[in-house]
Amino acid sequence: MAVKFCTAVAAIYGRVKLDVAIANVLSSIQKASDAVFLFGLLPLCISVRLRPNTEKREQEGRRETMSGSGKVVCVTGASGYIASWLVKLLLQRGYTVRATVRDLTDPKKTKHLRALEGANERLHLFKANLLEEGSFASVIEGCEGVFHTASPFYMHAADPQTELIDPAVKGTLNVLSSCVKTPSVRRVVVTSSMATVYYNGRPRTPNVIVDETWFSSVEFCKQEKLWYQLSKILAEEAAWKFSKDNSIDMVTIHPAFVIGPLLQPTLNASAAVFLKLINGSSTYPNASYGLVNVKDVAMAHILAFEVPSASGRYCLVESVAHYSDIVKILHEQYPALKLPEMCADDKPLVPIYHVSREKAKSLGIDYILLETSIMEIVKSLKEKGFVSF
Ligand SMILES: NC(=O)c1ccc[n+]([C@@H]2O[C@H](COP(=O)([O-])OP(=O)(O)OC[C@H]3O[C@@H](n4cnc5c(N)ncnc54)[C@H](OP(=O)(O)O)[C@@H]3O)[C@@H](O)[C@H]2O)c1
């Protein structure tokens, strides 16, 4: 067991086959007799892993600052969780950002954006709605890049067609129609999701590697009533068709479940799911899913615009973990947290699987580790008063 553990740590430190290494560590933890040994070493392992990751990122940040100097780009849905980070990083890199929000008068949607470094000089906010035809046209005017992130993101809709599917699909076509009429637009980066990749009924087990060639199935999602997933599938399909028909240079970004710090004062859907886990639930769901840090998602959007050879779809998944794995990491990091102790059912744990990192790596993404992302989101939720412990 010690050999397996050390191999895993070596692999983690060397950033080789990281998800496999994490799976090794986690599967080792499941053996009760090994728990004492591992929990003694894990904090050491985590601190060794965090330091080089953070330092490297700071150096990269300094080196890359101002690469967008003199360039004008548009971000739709700027007050959202992912888009707020995207706006922050774009401003940091020197871009001038023309950003859309639905309500310019709501400080909860704008104050955190106006407070960003560089916002006074280079952030311009506009009102736009996905369902109003032509709403984005004047905003996109003069932009070299368009980042289309706006799309309703919640799971329970009374009327999925009106609440989720129409804004996702019609909104995407609305934005792309304005792009095609604007000669300054060089590339469009659309925020899609892993929801358009792996909901197709194919088994996801530890020997399966999901990649960009996977597509979710409309029929499967209808059958399972996965309406948010369906909205993202139909929006992506419409976007690829429209971009091909109109020769738009488009790239799609497919994040898994996004965690990490919140810039906005309100609770977005993925943070709300995470909050549920640390806010007094007695059980955790029997589910495994991919996770990725919001800062990596924002940076992937920027790289997808900046790297000339970027094309097609990019899956963004740092690791795949079962809820029980996340609870273990949380327990280690925050012993004072009241965490669920049992799985919601008695069935065997839903297995983990893998998602290829090759394409994201080719963009230049060097993922923030799962433990760091978990630590960051808990800290952020605590600072914003969503949880107290
Ligand atoms: N978070 C994740 O785990 C995750 C994972 C994969 C993909 N994604 C995708 O990432 C994108 C951003 O999601 P997020 O997590 O940042 O969620 P979010 O915080 O809820 O952001 C969604 C944004 O879309 C805007 N929006 C919704 N309906 C609109 C409409 N009719 N007109 C104009 N804007 C509208 C919202 O504006 P308001 O602020 O006015 O409501 C908000 O700014 C979405 O496309 C989502 O599908 C998210």
* Separation between Cα atoms, residue 22 and residue 12, nearest integer Å: 7
372 within 8 A of 22, measured Cβ to Cβ: no
Q: Give me ligand 1 centre to Cα 194, in Å.
A: 15
Average pLDDT over residues 273-295: 96
Phi-psi category of 315—alpha, beta or left, where left has phi over 0 and alpha has psi -120 to 50? beta
Average pLDDT over residues 283-290: 97
212 within 8 A of 251, measured Cβ to Cβ: no
Secondary structure letter of residue 162 according to DSSP: I
Atom of ligand 1 lying closest to residue 83 CA: 16
Neighbours of 200 (CB within 10 A): 16
Residue with CA closest to ligand 1 atom 24 = 150
pLDDT at residue 84 tops 60: yes
Secondary structure letter of residue 41 according to DSSP: H
Burial of 14 (0-12, 13-18, 19+ CB in 10 A): exposed
CB distance 96 to ligand 1 below 6 Å: no
CB distance 1 to ligand 1 below 6 Å: no
| AA identity, residue 371 | E
Q: Give me ligand 1 centre to Cα 151, in Å.
A: 4
Q: Give me ligand 1 centre to Cα 67, in Å.
A: 26
Predicted TM-score (pTM) of the model is 0.87
Q: Give me ligand 1 centre to Cα 308, in Å.
A: 26
Q: Give me ligand 1 centre to Cα 28, in Å.
A: 37
Atom of ligand 1 lying closest to residue 255 CA: 6
* Separation between Cα atoms, residue 333 and residue 328, nearest integer Å: 9
Strands annotated E in 183-233: 187-191, 209-210
Mutate to test the pocket of ligand 1, among 74, 81, 301 (most ligand atoms within 8 A of CB): 81
Q: Tokens 């992937």 identify what position?
A: 300
355 within 8 A of 295, measured Cβ to Cβ: no
* Separation between Cα atoms, residue 325 and residue 339, nearest integer Å: 12
Does 107 or 51 have the greater pLDDT score? 107
Q: Give me ligand 1 centre to Cα 375, in Å.
A: 23
For position 57, what pLDDT does the model report? 57
Strands annotated E in 225-273: 250-255, 257-259
> Which residue from 73, 243, 93, 240 is spatially nearest to 147, judged by alpha carbons?
73
pLDDT at residue 257 tops 50: yes
For position 155, what pLDDT does the model report? 86
Atom of ligand 1 lying closest to residue 103 CA: 40
Mutate to test the pocket of ligand 1, among 149, 162, 190 (most ligand atoms within 8 A of CB): 149
> Which residue from 45, 27, 31, 96 is spatially nearest to 68, judged by alpha carbons?
96
* Separation between Cα atoms, residue 254 and residue 313, nearest integer Å: 7
CB distance 268 to ligand 1 below 6 Å: yes
Token digits of residue 219: 């029929």
> Which residue from 291, 304, 348, 320 is spatially nearest to 209, judged by alpha carbons?
320
CB distance 319 to ligand 1 below 6 Å: no
Mean pLDDT of the chain: 88
For position 34, what pLDDT does the model report? 36
Q: Give me ligand 1 centre to Cα 150, in Å.
A: 5
Q: 72-256+294-317+353-367 adopts what CATH topology?
A: Rossmann fold (3.40.50)
Mutate to test the pocket of ligand 1, among 151, 252, 275, 314 (most ligand atoms within 8 A of CB): 151
3-class secondary structure, 381: helix
Helix axes 269-278, 370-383, angle to 10 degrees: 90
Atom of ligand 1 lying closest to residue 130 CA: 32
Among 32-46, 128-142, 265-279, 314-328, where is mean pLDDT lowest? Answer: 32-46
Token digits of residue 373: 């992302």
For residue range 133-185, list pLDDT tens digits in order.
999 999 999 999 999 999 999 988 999 999 999 999 999 999 999 999 999 99
CB distance 153 to ligand 1 below 6 Å: yes
DSSP 97-161: EEEEES-TT-HHHHHHHHTSTTHHHHEEEEE--TTSTTTTHHHHTT-SEEEE------S--SSHI
Q: Which residues pair with 284 in a beta bridge?
A: 343
Burial of 298 (0-12, 13-18, 19+ CB in 10 A): buried
CB distance 129 to ligand 1 below 6 Å: yes
Atom of ligand 1 lying closest to residue 82 CA: 16
pLDDT at residue 33 tops 60: no
